[in-house]
Structure 1
Amino acid sequence: MPRSPRPANRARSAYRAAILSEPSCRAGAPGVTSSSTTGHHLVVRARPMSHSCPRARVLLAALCLCWAGLPLRAEPAVTSRHVVLISVDGLRPEFYLDPAWPAPHLQALARRGLAAEGVEGVFPTLTYPSHTTLITGVRPARHGILYNTRFDPAGDAARWFQQADEVRAAGLKSASVNWPITSGAAIDFNLPETFSYDTPEDRRPAISAAATPPRLFEEVQREATGRLSARDVFYKDPAVDRNNARALAYLIRTYRPHLAAIHLVYADAAQHEHGRDGEAVRQAVADIDAAVAVILEAVEQAGLSARTTVIVTGDHGFVGTHTAIAPNVWLRGAGLLGTGDAERGEGWRAIFHSGGGSTFLQLREPGDQATLRQVRALLAALPPGTQRLLHVVEQPALRAAGADPRAALALVAEPGLAFVSASRGEPLRPQRGGAHGYGPELREVRTGFVAAGAGLGSAGSIPLLHLEDVAPTVAALLGLTLPEAQGVALPGVVAAPAARAR
């Protein structure tokens, strides 16, 4: 049946009824702002991607990035729509499933729309690999973002993450605030998660330099946030999510992007420091909820309510920790880290890379079976009590999980323990706080998924999703497909095209 046009005020009313009907979600509630502004539109064009490039290529679905060479294909006869993708670093399902957590707006979204009891992530369950899976639909081995910091045999640092190869999706406008691995990407309105090696605690110069279009960072401060200090955009400061939400809200109201994405980060910092619980974590969740409210209100103010789907998801959960394991201490004792004071000295042969709940053995010479046998012998000679604290993951299992194909093996810690990169001191040491990076099958590191608004199916409560499912879901809502995604847009989550068009 054809849908008759509805006045903007009726569309807004429908949006409130569907999503914002809770008293605490209405305009004027704490954390909800109101403003209006207009602006110009930028439309991008697509160019072909190379499938043979050995470096990772990024596909940020309709955010116009491509890692791993994944094509984006339009579905015919689908009405225009908008998706707001909110990633909460360290999101746990109980934040929206348990009313004891201070997240009324997020919990209202879960009641009115779809909510997952858990989302199983990728291996390792780290921020950068997970966020790249969120927007490509493939696992780390395919998209190439394997860790939070790159392992380079020459010792180069993570400047790798500044090198995004670009591809634009035809006819779609995009906006992104604080999303990882997007510096230099072909996003219409982009304030990327980036930093300066010269001033790592003051991200403002790096954000300004990487912003698209030029001076967007200054525009957002002038029109939306006011002048921001270094602490206002620092990932360990509670103000960072509020300020980033205000920035995205401005971009939504002004430029009305088809896909708007944001990465909210402080809950991760709070849980790393305090573990899974505690007043600081509860306050971080409350701040996330206020940020979500600001973004929801901006959708309404932009007049996009009837055509918008809001998705709140994350990258990983958290495990409380009490002890750290430093396996590189064992390698140094065996002479495998080389000579000298550097982490990898002259003549190094093996090192454990990354941290948190897992660590991956990197060999200087990938085919060095003699060194690999020596490492295996070291692990087998550990006291039985120490051996019980970790599990060895062999290469076939790593390949099956879509993890780093270059790693000779990996270690996964028991819950309550986490790996550190230190190569001196005691191999076991106290470490209180929280960690992630464990195998995705561990329930505590599952993240969440909530969706409400236009274009959704009737699934209601979803027992389990996989992180690879998010990108194809977003694409389907936008009338696109990701043919090479390893996840799927589940029919119970996304309505059929005919239903979406009614």
Structure 2
Amino acid sequence: MKRLTDHLIVISFDCLSALDYPILKELPHFRELLGRGSYCKQVETIYPSVTYPCHATIVTGKYPNRHGVVNNTLLQPGRDSPDWHWYRKSIRGTTLYDEAKKAGMTTAALLWPVTAKADIDYNMPEIFANRPWHNQILVSLLNGSPLYQLQMNRLFGGIRSGLNQPELDDFVLESTVETIKRKPGLLLVHFTDLDTQRHYHGFSSEEAKKALRRHDERLGRIMKALKENDMYEETTIVALGDHSALDESMAVQFNILLKEKGMITVNGRGKISKWKAYCKGCDGSAYVYTKDDKATKEVKRLLEELQPDPSNGIESFLTGEEAAEKGADGHCAFMLEARPGFYFKDALEGSFIHTITPEDVRKKRYTYGSHGYSPEKEGYFTIFMAAGKGIRPHQDLTSMRLVDEGPTFATLLGLSLGDTDGKPIEAILDI
């Protein structure tokens, strides 16, 4: 297969929405990208539309139930802070970076989800210190490229302030600019500033708008680095979002009802000792897992009783089979969708419906904005922009899907991802 570009840079601006397009087209660097490239401002995300499944989809072209990353976090009932799908082993089958490496390309990934211990030349994985005895820098070093990360931390570590934004993205930006000097064939970059601001301040908050402007400056710095390293004309630049978001003010805490019904048992320390049914939140949606048919029937009766009342926050629910048809985890008994203004939490204490207070958000117990909702929610689209070598300019696509991005990237690099759910968007490719 003919390769259409020398270098592919995929920049994921987490939580970038189609609704941001009127702002983006007025910002200088996004305007430059849009002016010389092609775009789609109606990209259908996946279900559940949370970050880790989305990013696994972007590099595989598959829906979550096929690539295996069906949620951000693992099903670990009772653990205060569940582990995430940090590791490459969570993804079934091949990925874009695997195929690029096999083809002899230099690969790099900066905070790209689900890449811990991946075979990537310059790998700074997104992984958190999730145990009291863990050290953040050491955890990152052991799960990525140690010497590369040590160098980035030595050069730019002073910029970072733990996982706080915008400092974390500023650190990632400086590391990206430095990594471009190594001229990788494939570079994957994940920025989370906008997502953070929308979670804690709301979708259309001034903080979110400032994050968009900071992202424009970051895009500009990356373009400038490509020009300074004589790569600009030989590179395809892609800027994309993984999902949109919705404002919320109420949390549905379904496990509290399951506990009251005797389907979750807690010990004296408030930890789960056993369970027959458990609600695993994906923010705007949630999986319910059950241990047996009796529990499944009991949960179904409960959901049928709750769903008609709008104040209970449950818009609809699917069976496991119906969830699988939409690309979600078919091993669940049910998948719940939140009404607008609501999202799901895994809490075991408090009230079934919790009204979120400013104190809740200040202490980061709850949020003001969420994703994870069904892609069928009205206006809930993300966005895709591409320019440079291998891209036909001035194509305004009416629609595409997140699963189409991986096959499109593979075609640009002369690779194949095999049996995917998406297909290359040939209308934008200079074939």
Can you give the 5+ residue segments of structure 2 that lack an aligned partner in the other structure? 357-366
Letter in 1 for 2:150: E
CA distance in 1, matches of 2:135, 2:189: 20
Please, which of 51, 58, 62 is the counterpart of residue 138 of structure 1? 62
Residue 86 of structure 2 corresponds to: 161
Confirm or deny that 1:129 pairs with 2:129: no
Alignment of 1:330 onto 2:260: no
Indicate which of 429, 442, 456 corresponds to 2:391. Answer: 456
Give the superposition deviation at 1:386: 3.6
Distance 1:410 1:314 in 2: 24
The answer to whether structure 1 residue 220 and structure 2 residue 144 are counterparts is no
- State which of 410, 417, 440 in structure 1 corresponds to 2:375: 440
User: Which of the numbers 376, 382, 398 marks the counterpart of 2:300?
Assistant: 376
The structure with higher relative contact order (CA 8 Å, sep 6+) is: 2
Q: Distance in 1 between matches of 2:103 and 2:149?
A: 25
Secondary structure of the residue that 1:361 maps to in structure 2? strand
- 2:3 is the alignment partner of 1:78: yes
Q: 2:136 aligns with which of 203, 207, 232?
A: 203
Coordinate RMSD, CA, aligned? 2.4
| Correspondent of 2:196 among 261, 265, 269 | 269
Go from structure 1 to structure 2 and tell me whether the alpha carbon gap of 1:340 and 1:412 turns closer, same or farther (over 3 Å shift): same
Q: State the SS of the aligned residue for 2:407.
A: helix
Q: Contact between 2:160 and 2:170, CA under 8 Å: does it hold in 1?
A: no
1:398 aligns with 2:323: yes
Structure 1 CA distance, aligned partners of 2:295 and 2:120? 45
1:425 to 1:103, Cα distance in 2 relative to 1, 3 A = same
Deviations along 1:245-301, whole A, 9 cap, x unmatched?
Answer: 110111111x10001110001111100011111211111111111111111111112
Q: Tell me: CA distance 1:344–1:403, structure 2 relative to 1, closer, same or farther (3 Å).
A: farther
Q: Structure 1 residues 341, 126: closer, same or farther in 2, change over 3 A? A: farther
Amino acid at match of 1:429: H
Scaled by the length of structure 1, what TM-score is found?
A: 0.77
Deviates more, 1:77-86 or 1:182-191: 77-86
SS at 1:449's partner residue?
strand
Structure 2 distance, partners of 1:369, 1:151, is: 19
1:252 match: 180
Decide which of 349, 356, 361 is 1:424's aligned counterpart. Answer: 349
Shift of 1:355: 3.2
* Structure 1 position 229, deviation (Å): 5.6
Distance 1:157 1:322 in 2: 24
d(CA) in 2 for partners of 1:79, 1:454: 7
Match of 1:7 in 2: none
> Secondary structure at the residue paired with 1:354?
strand
Deviation at 1:101, TM superposition (A): 7.8
- Distance between the aligned counterparts of 1:201 and 1:284, measured in 2? 30
Q: Which of 86, 110, 113 is the matching residue for 1:180?
A: 113
Q: 2:264, 2:142 → 1: CA distance?
A: 38
Distance 2:86 2:293 in 1: 31
Letter in 1 for 2:174: R
Q: CA deviation at 1:196?
A: 1.6
Secondary structure in structure 1 of the residue aligned to 2:86 = helix
Contact 2:78 2:272 in 1 (8 A): no
Gaps of 5+ in 1: 1-74, 497-502
Aligned to 1:45: none
Distance 1:484 1:369 in 2: 34
Cα distance, 1:387–1:416 mapped onto 2, change above 3 Å: closer
Match of 2:167 among 210, 234, 239: 239
Partner of 2:363: none
Give 1:389 deviation, angstroms: 4.0
Q: 1:426 offset after TM fit, Å?
A: 1.4
Closer/same/farther in 2, CA of residues 276 and 297 from structure 1, 3 Å limit: same
Residues 326 and 426 in structure 1, CA contact (< 8 A), matched pair in contact too: yes
Cα drift, residue 453 of structure 1? 0.7
Task: Name the structure 2 match of 1:307.
Answer: 234
Q: TM-score, length-normalised on structure 2?
A: 0.89
Indicate the structure (1 or 2) with the bigger Cα radius of gyration.
1
Maintained 8 Å contact 1:242/1:290 = no
Please state if 1:284 is matched with 2:211. yes
Displacement of 1:85 in angstroms is 0.2
Q: 1:444 Cα deviation (Å)?
A: 4.3
Is 2:270 aligned against 1:360?
A: no
Q: 2:414 aligns with which of 472, 479, 487?
A: 479
Q: Is the 8 A contact 2:156 2:174 kept in 1?
A: no
Higher percent of residues as strand: 2
Letter in 1 for 2:149: F
Aligned length: 411
Preserved CA contact (<8 Å) 1:102 1:282: no
Deviations 1:210-249, CA, capped at 9 Å, x for gaps: 331x321222244xx4342651x51x32122122011011
Match of 1:176, SS state, is strand
Superposition deviation, residue 197 in structure 1: 2.3
- AA matched with 1:346: S
CA deviations on 1:150-186 (whole Å, 9 max, x unpaired) are 1147969426533538954221111111111111110
Gap change, CA 1:260 and 1:407, over 3 Å in 2: same
In 1: Cα distance, 2:55 partner to 2:117 partner:
17
1:60-114 per-residue CA deviation (whole Å, 9 max, x = no partner) reads xxxxxxxxxxxxxxx1x4365111000011111233x214887321132123211
Calculate percent identity across the aligned residue pairs: 27
Deviation, 1:371, is 0.8
Distance 1:101 1:491 in 2: 24
Change (3 A) 1:343 1:445: farther
Q: Does 1:409 align with 2:344?
A: no
